A and B are shown apart, each in its own frame.
Chain A
Amino acid sequence: MLAILVEDRPGVLTRVSGLFSRRGYNIQNIAVGRTMEPGISRMTVTVEADPLTVEQIVKQLNKLVNVLKVSDMTDEPSVGRELMLVKVKAEPGRRSEIQQMAATFRAKIIDLSPDSMIIEVTGDEQKLHAFLMMMQEFGIKEIASTGKISLLRGSKITRDMKA
């Protein structure tokens, strides 16, 4: 998992994602958002690759003129979260069951209609996976999820990590 600080310029996302596809690296997951510094965005990218390839990816990313800092968080203690919205079938007779299950996962019901509801759930991959498994028996109509974002544990920040 890589944390990439980039200048917030038009085309930056294309430059970064283009580099991955052009060099044959597979992005599993990507999330982009603000940082505390104006003009700087943070991209969190999950790739499936051996350590040598990851090293090469980091070096190639660093060569992009709009990239400020690339940190490989793979071996660092960190917390990561993804947010998912799940639309499930919810016949009146099964709603309380769903509600209970959502509560167990600390998920929130954020929309309700006569035959469906939308549940918001956050967590790491495993938790979200487990939640989806549970929801399957009710019938999942649609899901939407953000990419994974993460921070280092403790007071250390990615900006201070060794390149």
Chain B
Amino acid sequence: MRLTGAQMVLACLEAEGVDVIFGFPGGAVLTLYDEIFKKGIRHILTRHEQGAAHAADGYARASGKPGVVIATSGPGATNLVTGIATAYMDSIPLVAITGQVATSFIGTDAFQEADITGITMPITKHNYLIKDINELPYVLKEAFYVASTGRKGPVLIDLPKDLQAQEGDFAYPAQVEMSTYRPTYEGHTGQIARAANAIKKAQRPLLYAGGGVISSGAHEELLELSRKVSIPVTTTLTGMGGVPCDYDYFLGMPGMHGTYAANNAINESDLLIAVGARFDDRVTGKLETFAPQAQIIHIDIDPAEIGKNVVTHIPIVGDVKLVLKELLKRLQPADGDIHNTREWCQKVLEWKASNPLRYRQEPGSCLKPQYVIEELYRLTGGEAIVTTDVGQHQMWAAQYYRVKRPRALISSGGLGTMGFGFPAAIGAQMAFPEKQVVCIAGDGSFQMNSQELATAVCYNIPVKVAIINNQYLGMVRQWQKFFYGGRYAHSSLAGSPDFVSLAEAYGASGFRVTRPEEVAAAIEAALNTPGPVVIDFQVDPEENVLPMVAPNTSIVEMIGGEE
């Protein structure tokens, strides 16, 4: 079949089962957009390419399928950079297609030329600059394959303008043949056997699960392992939903804003089983003091993660779902009781019960952000897909919106990208039009991508945005308070717009809440309002996220950990 480059892209999207793409046109992708027009594939025009990238990311996180984003050359492509880096840090499958100046102009500083493959080299899993139309069919296939296999991640294809119009032979390859890229899925049986033995011998085992559990769909196996041999579980921000938050043996999040129970359990554990997690500094605190008594089993699909930050005693490279399945075969329910893990579990559950996360909402006084999130949880039945921005509200969302399922809490963990939440919510809503999608936003973060209100209104994407409006870059203010003598250098957001009017100006609905008594009614009203809604929750400006571990100290030195 003879197709133009643009037609090849569309044929590929169809073959890959892509049902929606996010993007923004421009000179170098006009031919591609003409084909999008003709083919009628679902396309969401955002108001900024960063919004399109985060939306594609949110779609991928919610659905597990790769998100697709398109932008023009030069500024269009560079506007994707933050979105691509965000996806890269959290291993999210994304395929970005950018237009490039015509091949004969490459390297001449032509109008809107930017070396986007060069720019994104360190923040993509792989990228391609197409210089020959005959390469295109295979590269498209390979791009989707690389993005969505192994340790997933963003892949970028830079497609020069002339090639979009040039014809070539097209047959979409059925398979990829890559001698240089072969992820390991099956865990080493000997290592799995060693891990099973270590689990049988352990007296104080702990599961530490990360985003890899979500990515590989290993949540059922994780829960089964925890139940079968009685092992408490802590999950990282990106691992949230790996087990339901209301599960007895779930201890909450570890690390900087982790729970007393999770951090103490890590500290006293004699066997830490890391599953699809990467020992990030926000989790470990000071490395030398992390899990000082524990042997470490580390299960991960990426061999480079093993041994990167901590010394691992039993490394297992493989897909965590497959590895956990094998591990489960080698363990019996009684194995957990041999060495009195019961005593350990009791101790851990006691920590959990006696030192829960807490805050005080006095009736009739200043509105507490945590209360807002608890009410959101209650009134959505804990069933919403929640996206967050970055800052204090993000941590409160992770602490108080107790998700029950994987892919229900969507947050930029690794890169910590302000402005992620709202466009990601738009993407998640596109993946699940019937589900309730709530964005828990910061007043600072929301202003980084509030232009996407236009997108939500245009396509009637009924995302509910709960702005936790503390009139500060709150997390920055908190650090300034704790570690910089209370000097609030440029962290005040005084002068921000009236978010209700802003929403209304875009044609969305807006509500404002200033007192605790109004919270429930406003949330209910918002949930019952069709289309996009913004709720401006004006909360206590000086509330801090607790507990808190100061950077580079031991995670058991928690500010506000103990009653």
Contacts and interface: CB of A to CB of B under 8 A. Distances in A.
Contacts of B118: 11, 14
Contact of B122 (A18, A63, A65): A18
B304 A65 contact: no
Interface in A97-140: none
A70 to B, nearest CB: 11
A68 interface: yes
A62 B179 CA distance: 12
Given A55-B307, A56-B307, A59-B304, A66 B180 contact: yes
Interface string B120-148: 01100110010100000000000000100
A64 B180 CA distance: 8
Interface string B176-195: 00111100000000000000
Contacts of A7: 180
- The interface residues of chain A, by DSSP majority, are classed as helix
A144 B1 CA distance: 53
Interface in A45-77: 52, 55-56, 59-60, 62-68
Given A67-B180, A68-B180, A59 B303 contact: yes
A141 interface: no
Interface in B281-335: 302-304, 307-308
Contact of A14 (B121, B178, B303, B304): B121
Contact of B181 (A14, A52, A65): A65
Given A7-B180, A14-B121, A68-B180, A63 B307 contact: no
A65 B307 contact: no
Among B125, B178, B303, B307, the most chain A Cβ lie within 10 Å of the Cβ of B303
B126 A65 contact: yes
A15 B121 contact: yes
B117 interface: yes
A11 B129 CA distance: 10
B302 to A, nearest CB: 7
B304 A56 contact: yes
Contact of A60 (B126, B146, B179, B304): B304
Interface string A13-49: 0110011001000000000000000000000000000
B178 A56 contact: no
B302 A18 contact: no
Contacts of B151: 63
A64 B121 CA distance: 10
A65 B125 contact: yes
A15 B180 CA distance: 14
A129 B126 CA distance: 40
Contacts of A11: 117-118, 121, 129
16 contacts: A10-B131, A11-B121, A14-B118, A14-B121, A19-B122, A55-B307, A56-B308, A59-B303, A59-B304, A60-B304, A62-B303, A65-B146, A65-B178, A65-B180, A66-B180, A67-B180
A6 to B, nearest CB: 8
A64 B178 CA distance: 12
A18 B125 CA distance: 14
Contacts of B303: 59, 62
Contacts of A52: 307
Interface of A: 7, 10-11, 14-15, 18-19, 22, 52, 55-56, 59-60, 62-68
A67 B146 CA distance: 14
Nearest to B123: A22
B174 to A, nearest CB: 20
B304 A68 contact: no
A67 B151 CA distance: 16
Contacts of B308: 56
B121 A18 contact: yes
A142 B266 CA distance: 59
Contacts of B179: 68
A162 to B, nearest CB: 13
Contacts of A66: 180
B129 A10 contact: yes
B302 A63 contact: yes
Nearest to B183: A63
A94 to B, nearest CB: 48
Contacts of B122: 18-19, 22
A62 B303 CA distance: 9
A7 B142 CA distance: 15
B533 to A, nearest CB: 42
Contacts of A68: 179-180
B207 to A, nearest CB: 24
B468 to A, nearest CB: 35
Among A7, A11, A22, the most chain B Cβ lie within 10 Å of the Cβ of A11
Given A64-B126, A65-B146, A66-B180, 14 more contacts: A10-B129, A10-B131, A11-B129, A18-B121, A18-B122, A22-B122, A52-B307, A56-B304, A62-B303, A62-B304, A63-B304, A65-B125, A67-B180, A68-B180
A67 B178 CA distance: 11
Contacts of A67: 180
A11 B121 CA distance: 10
In the A-B complex, the 10 residue pairs with the closest CB atoms: A59-B304, A65-B126, A68-B180, A22-B122, A65-B181, A59-B303, A60-B304, A18-B121, A63-B304, A56-B308
Contacts of A14: 118, 121
A11 B146 CA distance: 18
A56 B307 CA distance: 8
A67 B182 CA distance: 11
Contacts of A22: 122
A19 B123 CA distance: 11
A15 B126 CA distance: 10
Contacts of B117: 11
Contacts of A65: 125-126, 146, 178, 180-181
A68 B178 CA distance: 10
Nearest to A163: B303
Contacts of B131: 10
A75 B491 CA distance: 53
A81 B487 CA distance: 59
Contacts of B180: 7, 65-68
A85 to B, nearest CB: 31
Contacts of B181: 65
A52 B307 CA distance: 8
A55 B312 CA distance: 13
B504 to A, nearest CB: 45
Contacts of A15: 121
